[in-house]
Chain A
Amino acid sequence: MSTWTSDAAALRSTWFLRGVRAAFSLPGLILVSSFIGFAALAKDAGVTMAQAAFMTGTVWALPSMVVLVGAIGSGAALPAAMFAVTLSAIRLMPMVMALAPEMRTGKTRQCVLYLLAHFVAVTSWVLAMERLKRVPPPMRTTYYAGLGGTLVTTNVIVVTVVYAVADALPSAVSAALLMLTPMYFLTSLWGSARERAGHVAMVLGLVLGPVFHIVLPQIDLLVAGLIGGTVAYGLQLWRRKVRAA
């Protein structure tokens, strides 16, 4: 507690820099590796370097970016692409809902929170939920700005650089890079699922995705998401009812 009060006296810039430093951690490193994978994926799908870098900065949610790249690659219409991306990004809402109260103090301006919300994605969220507790409340927005800003900036640079050198890589290395994204999602998605229904939904999605890719290639992700999610939710309701009876 004593370190806590002496920290509270520290300058705002110090807390910003501490946030920056938090970005250079193991989760941050894993995130960088998955953006390396994304750059390879985007190039492969025919997205330009500028588009890939722009997407990284503006969308800043890897699953949504992969969905978007897939939609661009398959020539989907704007409404269909938007709907799929929208659905893939819904999970950001409960994440922000959980994080915003951590950063809000009596004096926090609402627009600051809206601005910082853009940085919310799995990695920065996990890091923030774990570390904000040790940051004095008035300094939390500053800390998160340092953390989120660094993650976004670093990965925009990573995507640009990897995109530029991707052609020069041996094919085994490119194959390994393309494998990074699914493995990152597979592990992080399982870890962030809060209830058992999330795990059920995940297994269903893994199977339904490829199945609908063959049956309904234009809207495979949407259908897999709607069906897999509804079934998983239904099973949870049914189990609850059985337990109550």
Chain B
Amino acid sequence: MFILVAGFAATDIWRFLGVYLGGKLSEDSDLLVLVRTMATALVAAVIGNLIVFPGGALAHTSLDLRIAAAALGFVGYLVSGKRMVVGIATAESLLLAGLYLNF
């Protein structure tokens, strides 16, 4: 029930509104830009928390290792011309190498 109200309803309302408004509101309108930046910052905050305050097995790794793996993975993503596979693979192999070397 919790999932249905806080999850399903809270996401699909935007999808429905999107269909309804499709074509009526310009994609570049100022209000939409503000809404997009807020949503982006919120999801970025989720990412930051997942890296700085992780759970489970990832919590046993050092913060430096996690930040270094994520940052270098992101650099790899940018350098490779925004290829997600490169970014993810770089971060994962650095993390595993760091764990293996007990870093």
Contact = CB atoms under 8 A, between A and B. Distances in A.
Interface stretch (A3-11, A62-70, A130-138): A62-70
Interface of B is mostly: helix
25 contacts: A61-B11, A63-B46, A64-B7, A71-B6, A78-B2, A90-B38, A91-B14, A92-B15, A93-B18, A94-B27, A94-B32, A97-B21, A101-B22, A117-B12, A172-B57, A172-B100, A183-B88, A183-B91, A186-B87, A201-B36, A213-B49, A213-B52, A226-B38, A229-B35, A230-B37
A13 interface: no
A162 to B, nearest CB: 13
Contacts of B4: 58
A122 B11 CA distance: 13
A222 B45 CA distance: 9
B14 A90 contact: yes
A114 interface: yes
A81 interface: yes
Interface residues of B, number: 69
Interface of A: 26-27, 30, 33, 40-41, 43-45, 51, 54-55, 58-61, 63-68, 70-73, 78, 81-82, 84-101, 104, 110, 113-114, 117-118, 120, 171-172, 174-176, 178-191, 193-195, 197-198, 200-210, 212-213, 220-222, 224-230, 232-233, 236
Nearest to A68: B7
A228 B56 CA distance: 28
Given A89-B39, A185-B43, 12 more contacts: A30-B88, A41-B56, A59-B8, A59-B11, A85-B7, A88-B42, A91-B14, A96-B14, A182-B70, A186-B73, A201-B37, A208-B45
Nearest to B93: A176
Contacts of A30: 84-85, 88
A114 B21 CA distance: 12
Given A66-B46, A208-B45, A93 B73 contact: no
B69 A179 contact: yes
A207 B42 CA distance: 11
The 7 closest A-B pairs by CB, nearest first: A96-B18, A205-B44, A229-B38, A209-B45, A225-B42, A228-B41, A209-B48
A109 B99 CA distance: 54
